[in-house]
Structure 1
């Protein structure tokens, strides 16, 4: 794709066509290139995957906006696919901070991103309803100035607030505030997913790979889901492979893991030569 406008049009089209699509979550440029080579049509960053790769926990306190956006820039530069980003809580409580984050995200070549209503405060984990809506409204207003698809996230279920009615209330309000895609990570089952999808008019993103039940693309599509992400689960799968290989060496003194490792030539085939 030639430019950001082209990527934005392609990304919009994925949300407008029939059926669901999977948007996997690379955590760096190398994993992005592998996923692009496999034929996925769009990518989304993962704050969890990024955090693990630099030895930190996944939180807005551990990952600054600059770090998040530099990682996104690297992923955008690694492929010609549309890229959306996990933009945490917008990196500020006030609506203006959310708008500024959207502007900066568009500036690094992203054509989409999410703003969540989690506060990062253990004592009060989700923003009060009216403020949460104001934050999405400010982000949506800024997103309309750019080739940018805004996803609004209602984080109740990830924050221990198992209230489906309030989650839907928030998603409906986020839709009315201008969000293009709606997302409530951690929904407990397919019936809850179906209920959310039927309650809103905009495309719904669902994440697979978290704890709990796992559903197929076909099952999620039947429930009304448009977009399916995997969050940090691909990164955790990679870490599981590393742990298995390292344990074999440490505990048994053998190197059989290398028989199932990706050949060096194949790994290299997905990557770019260094620029001279």
Structure 2
């Protein structure tokens, strides 16, 4: 389990997180949603050790403040919103960076085969010798996901779950690759790992997430499964505009309609 208790974080004089409590379980896909500036990415960066905070964050029963970043790299892989590179690395060189820690680090056979395997999984076979800077934003995002998958190929390690922390993993992708990436995350969770993703697309979140954490103004305002969190009242309050819901006959997840009147 990941458990955050009373997490507070300020940048300069501005308090971004105001006592956040979050729980996420292995075997589940947890999505963090909310309007721009509500603290979603800041919370994820606190969880990944990129920003100092007060409070407590535990992962797999360990207080992360007592775990070195090197040891954390054995427990979780992190996909940032964007990862610009200043030097002309090839795609395969970027992906191989994920082999420096995690489940493949000590396995010579896995190290040899895994980079191409992860590129195939993100639909980038044939790109391995291209320069990273020559790719589109969406292609770069998928290269970075392949790197993270190299690090966290196995969903469990030594009878403990591994974790993927994904910050807007589909923000630059077309609809086909959005579905592909979300399915990769769902599969990782189905194999016993934990997934926490910052998301903006509420309909895509409804289709794939097991658990949703909704934030507003640095606080959690709703948490639970999609049906519990996705109410017109919650969504309209969080996003500051009228949001209605419908559930198509052939679907189980609600569909969100900002500012549209929907038959009750």
What TM-score, normalized to structure 1?
0.35
Choose between structure 1 and 2: higher helix proportion: 1
What TM-score, normalized to structure 2?
0.36
Choose between structure 1 and 2: higher strand proportion: 2
Higher relative contact order (CA 8 A, sep 6+): 2
